[in-house]
A and B are shown apart, each in its own frame.
Chain A
Amino acid sequence: MRRRPVLWGLAALALLFLLGPILLMVPVAFSSGDTIEFPPPGLSTRWFEQALDYQPFLDALRTSLLVAGGATLLALLIGVPATLVIQRYRFPGRKAIETLFLSPVIVPELVLGFALFQQLMVTLRITALGALLIGHTVLLLPYAVRVTGASLAMSDPALEEAARGLGAGPVRAFFRITLPVMTPGIVAASVLSLLTSFNNVPLSLLLTGPGMSTLPVEMLRYVEFSFDPVVAAVSTLLLGITVVVALVTERLVGFNKVFSQ
């Protein structure tokens, strides 16, 4: 293998640019100072204590987890049957259906959030939590369809036929054969969906109500009026959790396989 000093140099720069700022947050979060600054004047954990005591963050965290979990579950319950049809049946209009299910990804999330706010919350008087769940499910549906579809597309379509020929009815063939074959795809789609929903800002931004807001949106609001390192502390905690999620994903289905789609 030839050495490629220029390429390696560029790669090092790019990775520093991508990861450096994120890592820089950690010492800032442990600062004893009153504002975000680097290097920190001294070390303390007071901003972590403050973050964990800040009620709006705790409420928002609960909402975020609820919405991420609920929307992921809904997107899979709705997306997996659709994927099955798209991957295993041939019928006129199949391509159009597939495109429709994937189409929410090209629409700006902020615009979708605004539309849901207007039509669902204002016009139809649906609660913020309901609108958040619906919006996030729409947002995650393309991931569910694409990722589980990829795992199905790679498997042999004759598998279900073989099960049928061996005496399994269509429902049993699905639960005994198709679903297990799709499991890695479903795990991958779940991890991807949970993170995508949990981290989302633009869609959630306008879908708020009294005491009802997601964590990233609450963090954004906090930064708007205060420059103290509380948000750095929350970010550091999220970074730690994300590292754990990444490691678990690597063990379960392969990190790069999941996140390079």
Chain B
Amino acid sequence: MSRKVTVGLLLVPGLALLVFGFLYPFITTLFAPPTIEDTSVLGRLGELVGDSFVLTVAARTIRVAVVVTVVCLVFGFPVAYLISRVPARWRGLLLAMSIFPLLLSNVVRTYSWLVILGRNGLISQALVALGLADEPVQLLYTELALVIGLAQLFMPMMIVTSYSSLSQVDFRLEEAARGLGASAGRAFRRVVLPLALPGVLVGATLVFAGSVTAFTTPMLLGGTQNRTLATLLYEYANVKLDWAAASAVALIMTVIVLVVSAVTTRLSGKAKVV
């Protein structure tokens, strides 16, 4: 059997699946969905973009995703750095503890926040008990709840990607920089950070894209007041049955994710998000 035939046979099942179960439905839905009324996606997209409600939702989605990304960076990166520089026996445990939440469903992970952020939740009780609030505080169904829930969801990703790129940075480089007269902070900024940056960018992109497309968390913690593109898409598709609108929202969401991935892939050089 010739090499070409072998290669072909081995790839055919995968290619068939990707065409039938991914490319064909995906492209058809985004650009030419079968619609109930006779509206085209691009036409509906035009209407939606002209609609301030959709713009508000898109802006909220992006705003929340940016804040979540920053929060994950601020906490996740130092934790990753610590993990990469502690003795091996600590490293495994800290890494495992950071990763473990990824093994659980987002429903499970988000559910707890209902207990913590609700009107009778932990935080509300604490604030009242401390005299910081006169009456129970409702933190659920706010943008803050969204940020908290999503940050908890995606921080492990930030830690893991940062860690894997930080662990590639030889700690002796830092020692060399210190030996050449750099302070600890300077050695970190001038040597470690530039080397770890591509991995951190990849992590930030994953967090951002995950936050833009997350469904469970905005569904549970955002409520009807704080819709995001994902919950809006679900509503058009499943409740209002306006499939052209759902496709248009899907298109907006996909474009945001692809553009951000493309930009960071460019910025980070070789490191690829995919």
**A residues lining the B interface (CB < 8 Å):** 1, 4, 6-8, 10-11, 13-15, 17-19, 21-22, 24-25, 28, 35-38, 77-79, 81-82, 84-85, 89, 91, 97, 99-112, 114-120, 122-123, 134-135, 137-138, 141-142, 170, 195, 198-202, 205-206, 216, 219-220, 223, 227, 231-232, 235, 238-239, 242, 245-246, 250, 255-256, 259-260
SS of B interface (majority): helix
B66 at the interface (CB under 8 A from A): no
Q: Which residues of B contact A141 (CB under 8 A)?
A: 14, 17-18
Selected contact of A112 from candidates B22, B82, B102, B109, CB within 8 Å? B22
Given contacts A24-B112, A135-B21, A201-B106, contact A118 B14 (CB under 8 A): no
Q: Which residues of A contact B258 (CB under 8 A)?
A: 106
Contact present for A260 and B160 (CB under 8 Å): yes
Q: Which residues of A contact B150 (CB under 8 A)?
A: none
Closest to A8 in B: B82
Rounded to whole Å, the gap between the CB of B19 and the closest CB of chain A is 10
* Sampled A-B contacts (18; CB under 8 Å): A13-B75, A14-B79, A17-B155, A24-B112, A24-B122, A82-B11, A89-B7, A107-B257, A114-B250, A138-B22, A141-B17, A199-B103, A200-B105, A205-B234, A238-B108, A256-B95, A256-B96, A259-B99
Binds A, one of B43-51, B127-135, B211-219: B211-219
Q: Which residues of B contact A202 (CB under 8 A)?
A: 213-216, 230
Contact present for A115 and B101 (CB under 8 Å): no
Q: Which residues of B contact A7 (CB under 8 A)?
A: 78-79, 81-82
Total A-B residue contacts, Cβ distance less than 8 Å: 265
Instruction: Knowing that A4-B82, A17-B155, A115-B29 touch, tell me 19 more A-B residue pairs with CB under 8 angstroms.
Output: A1-B87, A15-B94, A21-B152, A22-B112, A28-B115, A35-B120, A82-B13, A89-B3, A110-B233, A111-B233, A114-B29, A118-B28, A141-B14, A198-B105, A205-B238, A219-B105, A219-B108, A256-B92, A259-B103
Contact with A along B185-214 (1 / 0, CB 8 A): 000000000000000000000000100111
* Bound Cα distance from A21 to B109, whole angstroms: 8
Q: Which residues of B contact A114 (CB under 8 A)?
A: 29, 233, 237, 246-247, 250
B104 at the interface (CB under 8 A from A): yes
Total interface residues on B, CB under 8 Å, equals: 90
Rounded to whole Å, the gap between the CB of B31 and the closest CB of chain A is 11
Contact present for A220 and B220 (CB under 8 Å): yes
Q: Which residues of B contact A195 (CB under 8 A)?
A: 103
Selected contact of B97 from candidates A15, A99, A170, A235, CB within 8 Å? A15
Point out which of B26, B30, B116, B237 has the most chain A C-beta atoms below 10 A from its C-beta: B26
* Bound Cα distance from A123 to B36, whole angstroms: 12
Q: Which residues of A contact B257 (CB under 8 A)?
A: 106-108
Q: Which residues of A contact B118 (CB under 8 A)?
A: 36
